[in-house]
Amino acid sequence: MKVPRLHPDTIEEVQQRVDIVDVISEHIVLRKRGKDFLGLCPFHNEKTPSFSVSQDKQVYYCFGCSEGGNTYKFLMEIGKQSFAEVVLDLARRYQVEVKTVEPEQRQEIQRQLTLKEQLYEILAVTSSFFQHALYQSQGEVALNYLQQQRNIEDATIKNFQLGYAPVGWETLYRYLVEQKRYPVNLIEQAGLIKPRKTGSGHYDVFRDRLIIPIMDLQGRIIGFGSRSLRDEDQPKYLNSPETPLFDKSKTLFALDKARSNISQADCAVVVEGYFDAIALHEAGIANVVASLGTAFTQSQLKQLLRFTPSKQVILNFDADNAGNKATERAIKEVEDLVYGGVVQLRILNLPDGKDADEFIKSREDGAVIYYQALENAPLWLDWLINRLLSGKNLKAADEFQQVAAEIIKLLNKLQDANQRNHYLTHCAELLSLGDARLVLQNLATLKSQIKSNRPRYQNNHGQRQQNKSVSQPAFIIPTDPESELLEQAEALLLRIYIHHHRYRHEIIEQLETKDLLFTVAPHRFLWQQILSVEAQILAPSISDPNPLLSGLHNLSPSFPEGMMRVSKLFHLDEKTQEDVFRAEVRVAEAIASLEQVNYQKRQIYCSQQLENLDPTRDIKLMEYYYQEIQTAIEKIRQLEQIRLNYAQDPIIQ
């Protein structure tokens, strides 16, 4: 079809109806940062979010690749569509009447826009047919199954609009075609009938099955799930085929009912089966969805993340071997988001291999115990590590090496340096089986095999290069992650010091009180110049509100190379403006980071000393250094939590 020339009124109305945050959230995960939203840019590879979306201005901009625009521009770029195609898709989604410059095209456009509405109607009528059949004599087996075997209450049956597809190859076909007069081609497009392979005519997709309607976010039926009621040679569970309305890889069962509860609980729970979700909703645990029996996909995860501000998701698949493999596949499917720290993923395996439905109905306080189990569900990486250790004899050399190699593979994918350090220590302790003398040796061995995950940088010619990891001596803990943290914290303090005079005294006081220094060479150089300029500058004035910054600029000709290395701190973009605006929180966060690095250095020093001691003669010194290492590790963990608390402070959310 020829792409129409759209009327300006249509373009304007669509733009007014659309929220850019909702649209972009379907493609990338956004986190609230101040008044805007931040995420990983979909137009270039990056590990640190630089893609900013303004809800007030309805625009986006990436500080990494300079891509920017409005909702229309984003969808044109992401989907490689024309402007008119994007507007038409949005008009259909937001139910905006389409006006075109050529009136003769309106009928064809309207036909395309109303196709989905016709399918919605057919599916709604079909659902009513199935619900009615459930309470007839032919649906007695299905109703007994729900009430007696599943112990589902009538109110829940009606709330989820459960039904029954009668026996017969053409029962639904005859009802929709002969009684309701719907076109056969539309019924087929709705996924309800299929053409016979031999001869003419069609047959019903669902026959003698319990029916579970699947709905979109607006509560409209888009397809059906079903369960066989007989032990015949047929699929136990059967879903609608792919249709213009239904894509099971992008759909979550019960999300329409769970979305508000997910927001209230700030957590989404994903189960495997329809009846797991239904049973939990009935028990009052309503922040639950099901994955339609397919592998859990990134599209499904991104939908959930729109409704949980802190990005908390718990996978509660069956605890048997098949369920564990399904969980591993799910983590693999979404690993970019998981390893990047975009989602806080936890895994819940219920005891005795029970699924959620069985578990909450196995005891009177089942729902309470289930809720407590959710609270205590381990992080995905702890779950994977425990899976690696399960059934392994770490005293056997071959099994030890196998587990250690798999642990290295996991930890190499972690992008956050602090998280990586935490799990290196944790895994070293697990591999040592309680033998304190082996912890440091195993820690050093693990760290020596971790690849450098430092971000790539731009050289003077704009070419992207990868920092090369430097080989470390045996038993020495690599310091790359600490260097990253140190550089970022020092740069943050210097930037705030230069641009926010009210916090200069506090920064100096914190540095002196905690005995902290600028140790990165360019930052140490800049700090010396700052002290030099401050000894000579006058108070701020109308003509020069920031004499410190002016004085530093004036020094550039005298120290061209040194000042060039720190000149980026003299300028503010949208992200760094927010850092300065949130100076109170950012200063505290940076000071905690510098303290953490000091303890990491202490840990390294004690590890080196411990390695040089003789276990037969220096047992007391070994105990001292090991205790110092444990103290440093605990301080590091405490400071990591402090930094995390500052990062999640509601002021900056």
For position 615, what pLDDT does the model report? 63
At 425, the pLDDT band (50, 70, 90 cuts) reads confident
Q: What is the pLDDT of residue 171?
A: 95
pLDDT of 479: 36
Residue 264 CA: distances (Å) to CA of 26, 287, 370, 422: 20, 8, 18, 31
Asked whether the predicted pLDDT for residue 294 surpasses 80, the reply is no
Q: Is the confidence at residue 331, as pLDDT, over 80?
A: yes
What is the pLDDT at residue 307?
84
- Any idea which of 33-47, 91-105, 139-153, 426-440 has the lowest mean pLDDT? 91-105
The reply to whether domains 8-101 and 108-246 share a CATH topology is: no
State what percent of residues in the chain have pLDDT above 90: 31
Q: Is the pTM of this model over 0.85?
A: no
Mean pLDDT along residues 267-295:
91
Choose between 303 and 5: higher pLDDT. 303
Per-residue pLDDT, averaged over 367-382, amounts to: 91
State the helix-helix crossing angle for 583-611 and 436-448, rounded to 10 degrees.
110
The length of the chain in residues reads: 653
Angle at alpha carbon of residue 486, lines to 653 and 436, rounded to 5°: 100
Domain with residues 250-385, CATH architecture: 3-Layer(aba) Sandwich (3.40)
- Is beta strand 268-271 parallel, antiparallel or unpaired with respect to 237-239? unpaired
pLDDT grade, residue 463 (50/70/90)?
Answer: very low
Question: Hey, which bits of 300-453 come out as E strands?
Answer: 312-316, 344-347
| Residue 365 · residue 52 · CB < 8 Å | no
d(CA 274, CA 289): 8
Mean pLDDT of 144-173: 95
- 540 vs 340, higher pLDDT: 340
> For the segment 190-208, what is each residue's pLDDT rounded down to a tens digit?
999 999 988 788 999 999 9
Check: CB of residue 552 under 8 Å from CB of residue 529.
yes
Mean pLDDT of the chain: 83
Q: What is the rounded average pLDDT of the residues 244-250? A: 89
Q: Given 3-state DSSP classes, what are the helix, strand and coil percentages for the chain, each rounded to the nearest 5?
A: 55, 10, 35
In the chain, what percentage of residues exceed pLDDT 70?
89
Phi, psi angles (nearest 5°) of residue 125: -65, -40
Task: State yes or no: pLDDT of 254 exceeds 70.
Answer: yes
**Mean pLDDT within 376-383:** 92
**What band does 397 get if pLDDT is binned at 50, 70 and 90?**
confident
Residue 226 DSSP SS3: strand
For position 460, what pLDDT does the model report? 34
Least confident of 35-39, 122-126, 254-258: 35-39
In whole angstroms, give the CA distance from residue 35 to residue 126.
45
Q: What is the pLDDT of residue 228?
A: 92
How does residue 472 score in pLDDT terms, banded at 50, 70 and 90? Answer: very low
- Check residue 458 and give its pLDDT: 34
Question: Where are the domains positioned within the chain?
Answer: 8-101, 108-246, 250-385, 391-465, 480-652
Read off the pLDDT of residues 409-423 as tens digits, 9 standing for 90 and up.
999 888 777 788 888
Residue 15 pLDDT greater than 90, yes or no: no
Q: pLDDT category, 101, cuts 50, 70, 90?
A: low
The top-level CATH class assigned to 108-246 is alpha beta
What is the CATH number assigned to the segment(s) 8-101? 3.90.580.10
Contact call for residues 52 and 65 (beta carbons, < 8 A): no
Instruction: Give the residue with greater pLDDT, 294 vs 573.
Output: 573
